[in-house]
Amino acid sequence: MPKHTHNGKRKNGHGMKDRYEQDENMTLKELKVGEKAAVKAVGGSGALRQHFLDMGIIPGTEVTVVKFAPMGDPMEICLHGYELTLRLDDAAQIDIEPATESTSPVGIERKTVNEHPGLGEGGRFHEKKTEKPLPEGTQLTFALVGNQNSGKTTLFNQLTGSKQHVGNFPGVTVDRKDGEIIGQKGTRITDLPGIYSMSPYSSEELVSRDFVLKEKPCGIINIVDATNIERNLYLTMQLLEMEIPMVVALNMMDEVDGNGGAIDVNTMEAMLGVPVVPISAAKNQGIHELIQHATHVAKYQEKPQIQDFCDENDHGGAVHRSIHAVLRLIEDHALQAGIPVRFAAGKVLEGDANILEKLALDDNEKETLEHIALQMEKERGLDKSAALADMRFSFIMKVCDACVTKPHENKERIRSRRLDRFFTGKYTAIPLFILVMGLVFYLTFNVIGAFLQDLLAEGIGALTETVRQVLIAGGVNQVLQSLILDGIFEGVGSVLSFLPIIVTMFFFLSLMEDSGYIARVAFVMDKLLRRIGLSGRSIVPLLIGFGCTVPAVMSTRTLPSERDRKMTILLTPFMSCTAKLPIYAFFVDAFFPHHKALIMIGLYLTGILTGIIVAYIYKKFLFKGEAVPFVMELPNYRMPGVRTTLQLLWEKTKDFIQRAFSVILIATMIVWFLQSFDFRFNVVESSESSILAAIAGIFAPLFAPLGMGDWRIVTSLISGFMAKESVVSVLEVLFGPEGGISAVMTNLTAASLLVFSLLYTPCVAAVASVRRELGRKWAIYVVLWQCLVAWVAAFLVRLVLLLMGW
């Protein structure tokens, strides 16, 4: 057992019992690896405390410490059969007491069935009495709701096949995915961000909650990870209160079966009052049946039949009585506000100000409400939020006791633990992370990506040659010939050849994310990131930033604090995105052909280093305060689905090709036009007297101190604002393919130009996504700030190299 002496009070050599005796208020932080305890009280306040409760940290819950991160903080605990991370500072707010001997019936043999009885069998869950089918032709809309990593995206892809498109959320603008269910014309299913409860904790969770509450889909497909059923059902219970027809999809049944576990689906249906369909999204099992049930409940608007989960015999029934009292009190208000009554009652009892306001209770009613809550807290001996969370978890335990046969062992869990011994091990975690990233870059640039790129470049080269022959043979007008060959083929072609590298990079990033590795990286790096004022969660957007800034900025929505989100967004441009690769490759080939790898690595590291420096500045001056708590689930390692991965790659490819043939094509054509004509629209002899030269000349003095005063370089940098790749396509157009550039530039200039392109303003698409997230002011800030940083850095590099005698 590693020793973690975080607290001076701890005495070595004492057993746990002794420690409890010495220290009346022992906290979770003081537990050692492998030790078990029961939660006594949960401190803290606000959203974080609610989040703790929603994640299952409630008085009475048993927790076991799994490990500490390599740097000693955060820690990983196991509760309700799943793994959660939290920082020691937050763990110190959770009081513990000795655990009572566990009586959980693990591995008891029971006669169980996984099979589902089929649609409407015995009319049990599809009762026809209250049947009110939606009119023919109504679009059946579904929301796909579930915890993170429960398999939503995998299921979504199975349900929709390739018939999906990515759209934008109106208002909050979150990338949401809509699609039509295969074989069900006129349906629309929406893949929502993963949530743990209907109390939103991050801005992304708010989106999911609002979708369910405001857009009122015809049906909910609640995806539940069957290997982690206790935690997953917590959300299910809250969804059942929404009064929206619902089907529970029990996912990952292949793993449950494989481990010898079982789930009595019929009993579970009876207890939850909605159809429960066992499926395996990854193996495409049970999907057809799920579709049948979902469309049926939606069409006939069959609402969940049970909402009353509070047991009147539970702890004297205090919670039960209070909920029902509140139900009566607010019923008419909830109806008027269009909020499901049962949901509203739970929320106002918890003290949700947002819902309380919407209900518009008068003072009398508010007072009554307070009395009810107070009385409940007194009788139950828990505060209101904890009492309600406890009520939900007790119901879940009853469901699990009745329906779930836990396997003796969970192979995936054991495998994950084994892998984690290395990936989050004290001495191995960070070297392995560096190794993994190194491998990703090596494979991308040197092996797979590079190989495919050469192939593609040759193909494009051959095509260009053929077209040239045809144009010459056909005696096509010189200017047009120049447009096609020097403009389009030279420009777009050079960019297009980077497609393989970019797609390969995204492939590895998505592999890391889907397998569950990035969550470990966040766990391991949390302490380091805290030094620069961020939390471990920010590592995800930052790593995605190596692919493309746009999705990176978007993925910051999973961060639960505005401060962290802002800071992470402002730092992502420092992670060199794949679109800058063509620029690096172009200059390295022309000027430093013998130090290719060295310079590439150097550039990436320069970006990271500058990011760290800027982060320190931000932390000191712009974003004071602490990073948010780091409460995160560590999912089991899983093999990412082939289909999901292929679909992602296809999307990226499509995206890139679209860009190459829109933004980049247009930019290249404009540049070609401006450099071919003068202000009187005569074709110029040499482009120095062209319109372009004149315009770029205005900006040239700004770049002169960097040695980059040449108008052609200035032009290419400006066009890089449209899309980074077009820096290269423009240079190709302006200098011609064969080494024209080495005549006007020295190695020294090339070096500072590389640094400048690494750091200067992100492209329009990235700036637009910053604007969507943070508003116009910050978007403008990003553009100006990055240019300033880039200028200074490039200047410094030039200075240093000059002093070194270059």
| Cis peptide leading into residue 275 (ω within 30°) | no
Q: Indicate which single residue of 407, 640, 707, 720 sits in contact with ligand GDP (rule: CB under 6 A).
A: 640
Separation between Cα atoms, residue 777 and residue 331, nearest integer Å: 44
Q: Based on the shown chain and the rule CB under 6 A, indicate whether residue 280 belongs to the binding site for ligand GDP.
A: yes
Q: Indicate which single residue of 255, 289, 486, 633 sits in contact with ligand GDP (rule: CB under 6 A).
A: 255
Q: Identify which of residues 58 and 519 has a Cβ nearer to ligand GDP in the complex.
A: 519
Three-state SS string over 733-800 comes to HHHCCCCHHHHHCCHHHHHHHHHHHHHCCCCHHHHHHHHHHHCHHHHHHHHHHHHHHHHHHHHHHHHH
Identify what 280 binds: ligand GDP, Mg ion, none; CB under 5 to 8 Å per kind: ligand GDP
One-letter amino acid for residue 276 of the chain: V
Identify what 148 binds: Mg ion, ligand GDP, none; CB under 5 to 8 Å per kind: ligand GDP
- Specify the 3-state DSSP secondary structure of 687: helix
Closest CA to 576 of 479, 433, 437: 437
Whole-number minimum distance, CB 543 to ligand GDP, in Å?
16
Q: Identify which of residues 192 and 344 has a Cβ nearer to Mg ion in the complex.
A: 192
Torsion of CA 708, 711, 715, 716, to 10 degrees: -50
Token pair, residue 302, equals 């069959």
Token pair, residue 242, equals 């929404």
Whole-number minimum distance, CB 152 to Mg ion, in Å?
5
Whole-number minimum distance, CB 150 to ligand GDP, in Å?
5
Q: Based on the shown chain and the rule CB under 6 A, indicate whether residue 573 belongs to the binding site for ligand GDP.
A: no
Q: Based on the shown chain and the rule CB under 6 A, indicate whether residue 497 belongs to the binding site for ligand GDP.
A: no
Separation between Cα atoms, residue 487 and residue 473, nearest integer Å: 19
Q: Based on the shown chain and the rule CB under 6 A, indicate whether residue 522 belongs to the binding site for ligand GDP.
A: no
Q: Identify which of residues 176 and 566 has a Cβ nearer to ligand GDP in the complex.
A: 176
Identify what 715 binds: ligand GDP, Mg ion, none; CB under 5 to 8 Å per kind: none
Whole-number minimum distance, CB 419 to Mg ion, in Å?
21
Q: Based on the shown chain and the rule CB under 6 A, indicate whether residue 282 belongs to the binding site for ligand GDP.
A: yes
Closest CA to 275 of 252, 296, 251: 296
Helix, strand, coil shares of the chain, percent, nearest 5, are 60, 10, 30
Separation between Cα atoms, residue 691 and residue 696, nearest integer Å: 9
Stretch that binds ligand GDP, among 117-125, 275-283, 419-427, 706-714 (CB under 6 A): 275-283
Q: Identify which of residues 383 and 513 has a Cβ nearer to Mg ion in the complex.
A: 513
Q: Based on the shown chain and the rule CB under 6 A, indicate whether residue 251 belongs to the binding site for ligand GDP.
A: yes
Stretch that binds ligand GDP, among 100-108, 279-287, 325-333, 614-622 (CB under 6 A): 279-287
Q: Indicate which single residue of 241, 254, 420, 710 sits in contact with ligand GDP (rule: CB under 6 A).
A: 254
* DSSP per-residue string spanning 529-581: HHHTT--GGGHHHHHHHTT-HHHHHHHGGG-S-HHHHHHHHHHGGGS--GGGH
Q: Identify which of residues 125 and 196 has a Cβ nearer to ligand GDP in the complex.
A: 196
* Residue closest to ligand GDP (Cβ): 151
Q: Based on the shown chain and the rule CB under 5 A, indicate whether residue 208 belongs to the binding site for Mg ion.
A: no
Q: Based on the shown chain and the rule CB under 6 A, indicate whether residue 668 belongs to the binding site for ligand GDP.
A: no
Q: Identify which of residues 152 and 384 has a Cβ nearer to Mg ion in the complex.
A: 152
Whole-number minimum distance, CB 406 to ligand GDP, in Å?
17
Q: Are 203 and 565 in contact (CB under 8 A)?
A: yes
Q: Indicate which single residue of 61, 93, 154, 160 sits in contact with ligand GDP (rule: CB under 6 A).
A: 154
Q: Identify which of residues 6 and 152 has a Cβ nearer to Mg ion in the complex.
A: 152
Whole-number minimum distance, CB 171 to ligand GDP, in Å?
23
Q: Identify which of residues 549 and 636 has a Cβ nearer to ligand GDP in the complex.
A: 636
Q: Identify which of residues 194 and 278 has a Cβ nearer to Mg ion in the complex.
A: 194
Tokens 């809309």 sit at which residue? 141
Identify what 154 binds: Mg ion, ligand GDP, none; CB under 5 to 8 Å per kind: ligand GDP
* Residue closest to Mg ion (Cβ): 153
Identify what 668 binds: Mg ion, ligand GDP, none; CB under 5 to 8 Å per kind: none
Q: Based on the shown chain and the rule CB under 6 A, indicate whether residue 641 belongs to the binding site for ligand GDP.
A: yes
Q: Identify which of residues 231 and 296 has a Cβ nearer to Mg ion in the complex.
A: 231
Q: Based on the shown chain and the rule CB under 6 A, indicate whether residue 638 belongs to the binding site for ligand GDP.
A: yes
Q: For helices 499-515 and 642-659, what crossing angle results, to 10°? A: 150
Applying CB under 5 A, what is the total number of residues that bind Mg ion?
A: 2
Is the Cα dihedral 611, 617, 619, 624 positive or negative? negative
Separation between Cα atoms, residue 80 and residue 141, nearest integer Å: 33
Separation between Cα atoms, residue 339 and residue 214, nearest integer Å: 9
Whole-number minimum distance, CB 252 to ligand GDP, in Å?
4
Q: Identify which of residues 194 and 582 has a Cβ nearer to Mg ion in the complex.
A: 194
Identify what 255 binds: ligand GDP, Mg ion, none; CB under 5 to 8 Å per kind: ligand GDP
Q: For helices 725-735 and 711-719, what crossing angle results, to 10°? A: 150
Instruction: Count Cα atoms within 13 angstroms, Cβ side, for 135.
Output: 2
Q: Identify which of residues 510 and 761 has a Cβ nearer to Mg ion in the complex.
A: 510
Whole-number minimum distance, CB 343 to Mg ion, in Å?
25
Separation between Cα atoms, residue 755 and residue 752, nearest integer Å: 5
* DSSP per-residue string spanning 352-416: -HHHHHHHT--HHHHHHHHHHHHHHHHHHTS-HHHHHHHHHHHHHHHHHHHHEE--S--HHHHHH
Site for ligand GDP in 730-769 (CB under 6 A): none
Whole-number minimum distance, CB 280 to ligand GDP, in Å?
4
Q: Identify which of residues 258 and 737 has a Cβ nearer to ligand GDP in the complex.
A: 258
Q: Based on the shown chain and the rule CB under 6 A, indicate whether residue 503 belongs to the binding site for ligand GDP.
A: no
Length of the chain: 806
Q: Are 788 and 595 in contact (CB under 8 A)?
A: no
β 175-179/187-191 pair status: antiparallel
Token pair, residue 519, equals 């969550």
Whole-number minimum distance, CB 149 to Mg ion, in Å?
8
Q: Based on the shown chain and the rule CB under 5 A, indicate whether residue 153 belongs to the binding site for Mg ion.
A: yes
Stretch that binds ligand GDP, among 249-257, 350-358, 380-388, 596-604 (CB under 6 A): 249-257
Three-state SS string over 477-531 comes to CHHHHHHHHHHHHHHHHHHHCCHHHHHHHHHHHHHHHHHCHHHHHHHHHHHHHHH
Q: Identify which of residues 557 and 724 has a Cβ nearer to ligand GDP in the complex.
A: 557
- Specify the 3-state DSSP secondary structure of 44: coil
Separation between Cα atoms, residue 630 and residue 582, nearest integer Å: 37
Binding pattern for the stretch 110-149 against Mg ion, x by CB under 5 A and - elsewhere: ----------------------------------------
Stretch that binds ligand GDP, among 146-154, 290-298, 397-405, 618-626 (CB under 6 A): 146-154
Q: Are 561 and 51 in contact (CB under 8 A)?
A: no
Stretch that binds ligand GDP, among 196-204, 231-239, 278-286, 290-298 (CB under 6 A): 278-286
Separation between Cα atoms, residue 141 and residue 298, nearest integer Å: 8
Token pair, residue 487, equals 């403009």
Whole-number minimum distance, CB 95 to ligand GDP, in Å?
33
Q: Identify which of residues 286 and 720 has a Cβ nearer to ligand GDP in the complex.
A: 286
Q: Based on the shown chain and the rule CB under 6 A, indicate whether residue 252 belongs to the binding site for ligand GDP.
A: yes
Q: Based on the shown chain and the rule CB under 6 A, indicate whether residue 281 belongs to the binding site for ligand GDP.
A: yes
List interacting residues with Mg ion (CB under 5 A): 152-153
List interacting residues with ligand GDP (CB under 6 A): 146, 148-154, 194, 251-252, 254-255, 280-282, 514, 638, 640-641
